Structure 1
Amino acid sequence: MVTFLSTQTQGPSVSSAKPAWPYQRRAIWNDIPAKTLLRSRKVRDLKSQLAAQQSVFTRPNTKGKAATTASYRVSHVLAKHKKSFKDGEVVKEAFIEAADALFGEFKNKTEIVTAIKDMQLSRNTVTRRCEGMAEDVESQLKNDIDACECFSLQFEESTDVVDVAQLCVFIRMVFEDMHAKEELLTILPLKGHTRGVDIFSTFMDFVKKNKLPLFKLISITIDGAPAIVGRTNGFIALCKQSESFPDILNYHCIIHQQALCGKILNMKEVMDVAMKIVCSVRARSLQRRLFRAHLEETGAEHIDLLLHTDVRWLSTGKFLARFTELLPEIKDFLKLSKHTEYAQLEDSQWLLDLSFLTDITEMLNDLNLELQGQDKHVINMISSVNTFKSKLQLLSNRLQRCDLRNFPHMQAELQRQGKNSAQLDGARYEKQVQSILSEFERRFTDFASIEPVASYLCYPFLEDIDVLQKATPGTKGDFWHLLLEQKYPNLRRRAFNLTALFGSTYLCEAAFSHMKIIKSKYRSTMTDDHLMACLRLATSSYCPDYEKLASSSQCQRSH
């Protein structure tokens, strides 16, 4: 009872010593006159205390967002260079090791190393980052497709490392200011057959799912595969029969046609002997080592021979150039090693044929390289082909006169044989050049229909000029986008359509080269979705919005 009374007695005194916060705050402000310097200082002190209290929560969040943004950037670099998802951990380890040496004298070294360790770069995290960035890039592409005036497509099909057929599709969009942009549209796996109907149905499923505006489609460029070009059941035939497609143009890849023209050369006896010799050296490890040692002893410019494969555009020219340059060393090695004797290596006519074939394939390779590349305007590609046809006619005329100024290997071989150009059978080689020229004239008919339009759009104010042999690389419709839509709608539309045309399937070929690195034998179990994401990031010119992606992610530090 006494305790209870004493507690009640002490209660009010305790309460008065620690008044409730509203009463305390009111008492403080009553003691400080309004609109005075003292009150201003008090307000500033209270605000700084509040900011300090809030920073306890915001500072970790800011650091977490910075680490997340950094992880997106590193993941993008890995995808651009076609590296494995788990290489993010290697990058982080290397970064930490480098930090010890780079920032050893820095006062805030500990903070720097801690920030590096906070980056989330585990295998699963990098996988999610690539998926998110691929979706962001795809959304940018969809916005551009909706905004563009028209577009064209290029198709090509190839198999990956586990024999899954992959249909690669690139898009070339043209915008109101007449500039063009080329991007990977999609890569579609074909799990079963690769007939024209299978390709068509797979692509139409993609069109419906992504709501691709096919009414903007101008043309389709193809590689000439039977499943694509079949008259009845080919992909192009089914597209033209479908009501979903507008009236489109279709072209066979210029580079493929140029490569096929080179195969018309009737020089099988030269290639067969050269291939047998090279394979006899390269097929056995011992012979290859001995030959390389022989090249080192003689001080040759090259250290090995090249193999030849028909599926590579530049293979024939590079193979023959290397074989011709190492021909003296090859002869010496065959004699020293007592290989099978090849009488052709001492036959003056065979050696001249080899030199001619080397020279002409180098010219074809130069044209092929000129046609390759991204953002190639179809006018410039046709111009390059027409210029080469004129060059072939010039070569034919010079060979009739035994003029070898364009054939350096033939000139060198004649000098080794102690002969002059007058003793050359020019008609033999002039016939070969004429056969190539005829093949060029026969094959490049797909683009004949657009040559008059292209000539006019290149130089609309000149008459009777063969523009396609004089077009410059800068021809990109810089003039036509200045025309008013209301006054010249048809001319602007023709310029848009011409700018949108693909001349080749180079981008698909390059994408398949990327695919073989991304989905290699070491990553053969990669899913189709991850292959699509990695390939899109590796080939796209779009940059993901790192800040947006980091804001939408859980910004936690690495654990």
Structure 2
Amino acid sequence: MAEKRKKTYYFHNEWEDELFFTTVKETCVCLICGATVATAKRHNVERHFITNHKSYHDHYPPRSALRAEKARELKAALGKQQSFFTRPAKKSQKATEASFRATHFLIKKKKAFSDGEVVKEAMMIIANTVLKDEKNGADLISTLSDVQIGPSTIPRRVSAMSGNLVDQLDRDLAKCRWFSIQCDESVDSTSTAQLLVFIRMVFEDFSTREELLALLPLKTTTRGVDIYNTVKEFFVQKKVPLEKLVAVTTDGAPAMIGRHTGFIAHCKGDPDFPKFLHYHCIIHQQALCAKVIGFEHVMTPVVKIINNIRSKAKQHRIFKVLLDEMSAEYGDLLLHTEIRWLSRGRVLLRFFSLLGEIKDFKLSKGEDVSLLEDTEWILDLAFLTDITGKLNNLNCELQGKGKTVVDMISALNAFKAKMSVFSGDLQRKKVLHFPSVQSVLKDNASASETFDKVAEKYCEVINRLGQDFENRFCDLYQLEPCVSFISNPFMNVDTTCCAEQLSATFNLDAGAVEIEIITLQNDLHLKAYQGAPNFWCLDDTQKYSGVCTAAMKVASLFGSTYLCESAFSDMNFIKNKHRTRITDAHLKDSLTVAVSSYTPDYNTLVNSMQCQASH
């Protein structure tokens, strides 16, 4: 009996013409009445045909062309019947996929959930106008009307896509060799503290990927221990492989970098965390360096004049009309915001460019303009405009997704070298690199004598700025020898010193790394690929395991918290004053979809649910 149960029966193609049966999903189906038999045995099929359709023997003789033609007709009719029911299902699947794609587009643009209704209404107006006279216009309009993008559907779509993107990230996190994270905390529109964690992963082929790892709300206090507990709980819940952690980048808040109670201090005191590097965000430090310039005697009056003009609506309108009549370079002044990285430089540039128009406007109102006519103050304004413009250029170089530590250290070193050139030029009473100062000296004949007196003061400012760069970026400068070797492994270095630096920074065996460096620098095959962008991919990771590990860890390093700052802008756009009721879960899902570089797997999403047309 056991052997009998194991026996498998198969459908035979000759039964179609002989007994009017076919197979549908491994089930024998009668072409005449649509009945099925339990087992694909000839006896069962033959008994059903003789019992129920014996007359077919008389009308369609066996083995005749007429019988074969009738079998084909019946089979075609069954196929039409099946397609009649599958067509709506496919149509619903297409509508659901379109719903996912439209939702993905809307969330990428940071639109509200209710905007889907507006999009669909506009889409239907266009369809009814353009397609109503077309051949299949009614079917196309009906298909478009089936797309589900209502205010209750979009949140479900966003949640499903977010889960799909997180699954892709989890798979990459399991595959990656090393990773680093950057953390920052800010407050949303409802005063809820939100902690953002971004991750940068490096893989076996030395490719990298930067993604949002978590958005974690901090409901009460935001002390270092609160941040640590929240992050640790998330890591344990998601089973993040902490042994792969290389570095953590944060801002300079005491809650983050406090020596005893900061987030980093708690992480370093936790045995579950490996020995990792920690860096204060380069862009934040560069912004702090800019504060040593001082020149409050320039900045304070500038801000006061701008606020005075723009604070009164009537006065502001008259000023803009004046700028338009005088064909000024700009149409308005900018307000200064201390917390924005580029604000000071842009405000000063706009103010300096409109200095003549501002003076005329104040004269027309009978206000004192003696300060705006003071040559020394104008020179100070021009110098401050030029130097903050150069700092803004550096800031923009440090910003951006995909920026490596190599790029940032190179930009900082280039800026330090430029500072030396600027200082030398000023000592020689030259202003080749200060266009605003040049324009003042060119337009004002008496300004040359004043410049000779203040040039030394400008040199002191530049030297003070350069010294502050040296003091603040000492951690990065300690990393520079390692980064330089990874960028150019064939450079002439002291192999012992280089090996010790690599081993101390990345927890490697100094002796083994030194031997690998010597072997690599004498490898003629690798020398042929010197300078290739994918050089480390060409190395034998088994033969040069130490230096390849160091190269991977360098590739995984964040240099700034730019991604967090950028994502906070997106978060405030999503959860604005008009959408304060959005939940933390929906905010997290929306932000994940908005900033992720992954593409949702639409086929998986559609197949995982029951597709229905919009009602």
Shared fold per TM-score greater than 0.5: yes
- 2:432 is aligned to 405
What is the alpha-carbon distance in structure 1 between the residues aligned to residue 256 and residue 227 of structure 2? 8
After TM superposition, list the pairs within 5 Å mapping 1:414-425 onto structure 2: 414-419=441-446, 424-425=451-452
- Cα deviation, residue 422, structure 1: 7.4
2:478 to 449, 452, 468: 449
- Asked if structure 2 preserves the Cα contact closer than 8 Å seen for 1:67 and 1:115, the reply is yes
Tell me if structure 2 keeps the 8 A contact 1:179–1:476.
no
Root mean square deviation of aligned Cα: 1.8
Alignment partners' CA distance in 2, 1:407 and 1:263: 19
Name the counterpart of 2:359.
331
Match of 2:463 among 434, 449, 454: 434
Residue of structure 1 in register with 2:95 after alignment: 67
* Corresponding residue for residue 81 of structure 1: 109
Name the CA distance, whole Å, in 2 between partners of 1:37 and 1:441: 95
Distance 1:198 1:54 in 2: 60
C-alpha separation in 1, matches of 2:120 and 2:316: 41
Equivalent of 1:285 in 294, 313, 330: 313
Which residue is equivalent to 1:523? 579
Match of 2:550 in 1: 494
For residues 226-241 of structure 1, the aligned pairs below 5 Å read: 226-241=254-269
Partner of 1:458: 487
Please, which of 405, 415, 418 is the counterpart of residue 378 of structure 1?
A: 405
TM-score (norm: length of structure 1): 0.92
Higher relative contact order (CA 8 A, sep 6+): 1
Aligned residues: 531
**What is the TM-score of this pair, normalised by structure 2?**
0.84
Contact 1:221 1:504 in 2 (8 A): yes
Tell me which residue corresponds to 1:4.
Answer: none
The residue identity in structure 1 corresponding to 2:593 is L
Q: Displacement of 1:102 after TM fit?
A: 2.9
CA distance in 1, matches of 2:557, 2:98: 39
What percentage of residue pairs aligned between the two structures are identical? 46
- Per the alignment, do residues 494 and 477 of structure 1 end up closer, same or farther by CA in structure 2, a change over 3 Å counting? farther
Return closer, same or farther for 1:280/1:22 CA change in 2, 3 Å cut-off: farther
Q: In 1, are the aligned partners of 2:379 and 2:451 still within 8 Å (CA)?
A: no
CA distance in 2, matches of 1:30, 1:449: 98
Do the aligned partners of 2:181 and 2:249 also contact (CA within 8 Å) in 1? yes
SS in 1 for 2:350: helix
Task: Show the counterpart of 1:540.
Answer: 596
Deviation by residue 1:28-47 (Cα, 9 ceiling, x = unmatched): 25654555543432222111
2:379 is aligned, of 329, 352, 357, to 352
Superposition pairs of residues 131-530 of structure 1, within 5 angstroms: 131-339=159-367, 341-419=368-446, 424-425=451-452, 426-463=455-492, 478-530=534-586
Alpha-carbon distance in structure 1 between the residues aligned to 2:203 and 2:542: 17
Alignment-derived partner of residue 8 in structure 1: none
User: What's the CA shift string for 1:304-331, capped at 9, x where partnerless?
Assistant: 1101111100000000000011111100
**Does the 8 Å CA contact 2:131/2:138 hold for their aligned counterparts?**
no
1:524-557 Cα offsets, whole Å, 9 max, x none, are 0111100000000000001111121111222111
How far residue 25 of structure 1 moved from its aligned partner, in angstroms, is 3.0
Can you list the C-alpha shifts for 1:166-195, whole angstroms capped at 9, x where unaligned? 110000000000010000000100011100
CA offset at residue 51 of structure 1? 1.0
Q: Distance in 1 between matches of 2:126 and 2:398?
A: 43
Question: Matched residues in 2 for 1:521 and 1:84: separation?
Answer: 12
CA spacing shift, 1:36–1:306, aligned 2, 3 Å? same
In the TM superposition, residue 105 of structure 1 has moved relative to its aligned partner by: 4.0
User: Quick one: which amino acid aligns to residue 477 of structure 2?
Assistant: A
Q: Is the 8 A contact 1:477 1:495 kept in 2?
A: no
For the residue of structure 2 that corresponds to 1:50, the secondary structure is helix
